[in-house]
Amino acid sequence: MSRLLIRGGNRLQGEVTIQGAKNSVLPILAATILTGGSVELRRCPRLRDVEASIRILQALGCKAGWRGDVLEVDTAGMSGCDVPDALMREMRSSVIFLGAILARCGEASLTSPGGCELGPRPIDLHLSGLRALGAEIDDTGGTLHCKAAKLTGREIVLGFPSVGATENLMLAACGAEGVTVLSNAAREPEIEDLQGFLNTCGAEITGAGTSTVVIRGGRPLHGGTYTILPDRIAAATYLCGAASAGGEVFLRDAREEHLSAVTAVLREAGCDVTGGSAGIVCRRTGRLTAPRPIRTAPYPGFPTDAQAILMAALLRSRGATVFEENIFENRYRHVDELVRMGADIKTEGKVAVIEGVKELYGAKVRAPDLRGGAALAVAALSAEGETSLTNIKLMDRGYDCIENAFTLLGGNIKRVNY
């Protein structure tokens, strides 16, 4: 097992190139199933969740392997339509494979993803949308048995703009006869990236990035080469690292247009943030000031995935900051760990109130989830003394070696085995 040892106090200075987006590559790996051909994915991050997706593809009889940061996938020889339970448990978002397998094979069987570290993870919107397209789904006994002799395009109005449901239905709709119109769709940049990949492979999808996505199904798809979008949450992590520790960093390839909810708060708190075509520069010199309340919301609102990380950056700011978490029920598990480091945080239901403190102190802490772990690293960079951060396998789900990125930026952070 490994842990991170982080000694706070170094100002961050330097440049890091932003990895490909975890939340783009996972649905795109599911989408490779629809192509029935050979796909080359560039800027593909090496993440535990990507490795889990590769194992799912291999369990289905597909081929997948690395060439540098290029992932090559060939789904021509796909022979199965059941995802093994152990792989479903490894990654809750594996439900995204359902729409793709169903569209390609006419049947799919996988275990229900259940709850995860962020609380219950219902998939009712995924299932009702797939049923609307003509799938028969038996979800009794913890296993989803799905069959669809034929899928037919139609209009589907999502009750909530769920990212995963929008993606799952886009994938299934590619295999449906006729036109599917998804209304109240999620608008995240990763949905546009999925559209970009599928269209590169011959699909006809428009509207991703807006709340209405139109899929003209039934077109034959083929393989292709595609470059994954830079990861806006990884970029937010390094921005918040600079806001926490001070200094000046350049995040190559980061796109400010995808991060404006985060950069607006950082500017309000006192950071200089400049976005350009090459990336984003963030500079922090004086003490930060608490910004106005931050409420998580579907894109383009403030991302729930950046809530913990921004909180960590604001722990030593002047005044009180209020957070309201509106997407997941159980997303303040980093709070108790931050309090161990000297933070002053009170939570009640959806709300957390942070009173700025003068100092943070290194402590023994444990990553409660992927972004909560990143938040602890961000806080540790500005804490006095050494922090020992365990359970970092959860962070490896979404960061391609977070310690390497922070080391490039001058942070004192190393991974040790124990």
Task: Provide the binding-site residues for ligand UD1, judged by CB under 6 A.
Answer: 23, 26, 93, 121-126, 160, 162-165, 186, 190, 304-305, 327-328
Residue 5 near residue 414, CB atoms below 8 Å: yes
Q: Which residue, 128 or 388, has its beta carbon nearer to ligand UD1?
A: 128
Give whole-number Cα distances, 171 to 44, 93, 95, 230, 269, in Å. Answer: 20, 14, 12, 22, 40
Q: How far is the CB of 376 from ligand UD1 (least distance, A)?
A: 18
Q: Which residue, 288 or 311, has its beta carbon nearer to ligand UD1?
A: 311
Q: Which residue, 144 or 288, has its beta carbon nearer to ligand UD1?
A: 144
- Per the annotation, the verdict on 116 as an active-site residue is yes
User: Before 300, cis peptide (omega within 30)?
Assistant: yes
Q: Which residue, 240 or 249, has its beta carbon nearer to ligand UD1?
A: 240
Q: How far is the CB of 51 from ligand UD1 (least distance, A)?
A: 15
Q: Which residue, 124 or 359, has its beta carbon nearer to ligand UD1?
A: 124
> Annotated catalytic residue: which of 116, 201, 282, 401?
116
Q: How far is the CB of 70 from ligand UD1 (least distance, A)?
A: 21
Q: Which residue is nearest to ligand UD1 (CB)?
A: 164
Q: What ranges in 201-317 are assigned the alpha helix state H?
A: 232-245, 260-269, 307-313
Q: Which long-range contacts (CB under 8 A, 24 or more apart) does 112-118 make?
A: 112/139, 112/142, 112/143, 112/144, 113/88, 114/142, 116/92, 117/330, 117/333, 117/368, 117/369, 117/394, 118/328, 118/329, 118/330, 118/331, 118/369
**Amino acid of residue 396:** D
Q: Which residue, 124 or 177, has its beta carbon nearer to ligand UD1?
A: 124
Residue 170: which H helix or E strand, with range? Answer: helix 163-174
The pair phi, psi for residue 228, each rounded to 5°, is -70, 140
Q: What ranges in 2-41 are assigned the alpha helix state H?
A: 22-35
Q: Which residue, 22 or 316, has its beta carbon nearer to ligand UD1?
A: 22
Q: How far is the CB of 52 from ligand UD1 (least distance, A)?
A: 11
Q: How far is the CB of 370 from ligand UD1 (least distance, A)?
A: 8
Residue 159, judged by CB atoms within 10 A of its CB (0-12, 13-18, 19+), counts as: exposed
Distance of alpha carbon 9 from alpha carbon 140, whole angstroms: 54
Q: Report the DSSP pairing between strands 143-147 and 136-138.
A: antiparallel
Distance of alpha carbon 75 from alpha carbon 25, whole angstroms: 16
SS (H, E, C) 294-361: EEECCCCCECHHHHHHHHHHCCCCECEEEEECCCCCCCCCCHHHHHHCCCEEEEECCEEEEECCCCCE
Distance of alpha carbon 272 from alpha carbon 348, whole angstroms: 32
Rounding to the nearest 10 degrees, give the CA dihedral for residues 360, 17, 197, 92: -30
Q: How far is the CB of 127 from ligand UD1 (least distance, A)?
A: 7
Residue 354 near residue 311, CB atoms below 8 Å: yes
Q: Which residue, 197 or 250, has its beta carbon nearer to ligand UD1?
A: 197
Catalytic machinery residues? 116
